[in-house]
Structure 1
Amino acid sequence: MMNDRPARALIFDMDGTIVDNMRFHDDAWESWHLGHALPFDRATFAARTAGMAGNEIISAYFPKAAIAELDALSDAKEALYRQAYRPHVAPSPGFLDLIARAEAAGVPMAVGTAAPPANIEVVLDTLALRARFATIVAPSQGFRGKPHPDMFLAAAERMKVDPADCIVFEDAPLGVEAARRAGMRAVALLTMLGADGFAAYDNLIASVRDFTALDGLPALRFA
């Protein structure tokens, strides 16, 4: 089966995937919305927006704002998040074991994240992970956020791997949709939503609470 074909490259979302941190983002977004007297629906916000760049999210509230103003508004929210999350950075269960297996098999890996550079530093540098990835792709490099497939396609190109041979790990529907548009298989991490939140995606090969539940998945045998 196509879904069982061993992966030749892995692409990881960061927030909610490499680390289980989305509640800290929710807290920061809630504070940001309150500070701007805007309504905030905590139950649905992350599922609707996770994977988009911050200025893309904020532009819906301030459609006439200049890019610099949108960036400043987004930076304020991200500063709230970093202050709260920095003391709690930890890899998702089973993540380090998976990437060690990939490394041993010579399977390259990438990060495709909507996070700004300072947030990437908080996670990847705190956990000393940066050097273990062949490339890191983010909107700060000029790419559109998810559900656009741009970041995942760029990661595959940089790793010199066909998109169909990549597996994307995501916690958000927009990310799984971006993988689908890129022609990539995906694994959903259920750190933010239940499995029913991903039921519509035919490129999904597994939905798991964390990486420890992926043992035995044929596509991750790296044969």
Structure 2
Amino acid sequence: MLPETPAKALIFDMDGTIVDNMRYHDDAWEVWYRKYGLPFERATFSARTAGMAISDIIGPHFPGADAAELDRLAEEKEGAYRETYLPHVAALPGLLGLLDRARAHAVPMAVGTAAAPPNIALILDTLVLRERFATIVSPSQGFRGKPHPDMFLAAAERMGIAPADCIVFEDAPNGVEAARRAGMRAVAMLTMLPAEAFAAFDNVIASVSDYADLNGNPALRFA
């Protein structure tokens, strides 16, 4: 277990963490998989793939495809997701209060997400949150997807904060594992999976349904 010291920086995953949108991704993925005659196991898909770079999800199905073709296939799915989710974009309860609290303590914040830039824009710009974050890190910048720790380590480095002083907010095992490999504590957001899905991780300091559940939780403190 990592030491329970005050948080000096916060790093947020986006999908399923800033917003509760994973079922819309699953809907788009199911249509995409069926179009190409591929088996789709909805019950396990998000738990297995959330946080991975989309090229790592699609690539194994099309081993002969070049980068341009993989980009086209990815955008086909992502465009469908954005179209269906746009009318429903909403921050998780309590998120804005937590962001305000962190800012009041001069605690920098970052986003580390596998989402493509247009998907990031859909969420952060619709909710007018982009300026809240010191940096946004994604595979489009050349980083490996989760469970690799690359994005979280880059976010910490850009903020000038030691990994052990960062707390990551994640809804998926791949993301919590990325935080563990980065030497960071994590809060498991239970928008997609139950708390039992994160029981094996020794870096999880809390499991909550939304950010309002963190009010008064001693695991998350800034001073």
TM-score range, shorter chain: over 0.9
Assess if the C-alpha contact under 8 Å between 1:14 and 1:112 holds in 2.
Answer: yes
- d(CA) in 2 for partners of 1:155, 1:182: 11
- d(CA) in 2 for partners of 1:221, 1:180: 19
Aligned pairs (5 A) from 1:136-151: 136-151=136-151
Structure 1 residue 4: deviation in Å? 2.6
Assess if the C-alpha contact under 8 Å between 2:2 and 2:164 holds in 1.
Answer: no
- Counterpart in 2 of 1:14? 14
CA-to-partner distance for each residue in 1:53-99, whole Å, 9 max, x for gaps?
11110012112221221111111100000000001000001101000
Is 1:191–2:191 an aligned residue pair?
yes
- Counterpart in 1 of 2:108? 108
- Counterpart in 1 of 2:159? 159
- Counterpart in 2 of 1:25? 25
What TM-score, normalized to structure 2? Answer: 0.98
- d(CA) in 2 for partners of 1:155, 1:125: 20
- Counterpart in 2 of 1:210? 210
Structure 1 residue 3: deviation in Å? 4.0
SS at match of 1:87: helix
Is 1:98–2:98 an aligned residue pair?
yes
Amino acid at match of 1:174: N
- d(CA) in 1 for partners of 2:119, 2:107: 26
The answer for unaligned runs of 5 or more in structure 2 is none
* Regions of 4+ moved over 4 Å: none
What TM-score, normalized to structure 1? Answer: 0.98
Assess if the C-alpha contact under 8 Å between 1:3 and 1:205 holds in 2.
Answer: no
Figure out how many residues of one structure are paired with residues of the other and give that number.
223
Amino acid at match of 1:18: I
- d(CA) in 2 for partners of 1:220, 1:70: 40
- d(CA) in 2 for partners of 1:132, 1:42: 34
Is 1:117–2:117 an aligned residue pair?
yes
SS at match of 1:220: coil
Amino acid at match of 2:202: D
* CA RMSD in angstroms, aligned pairs only: 1.0
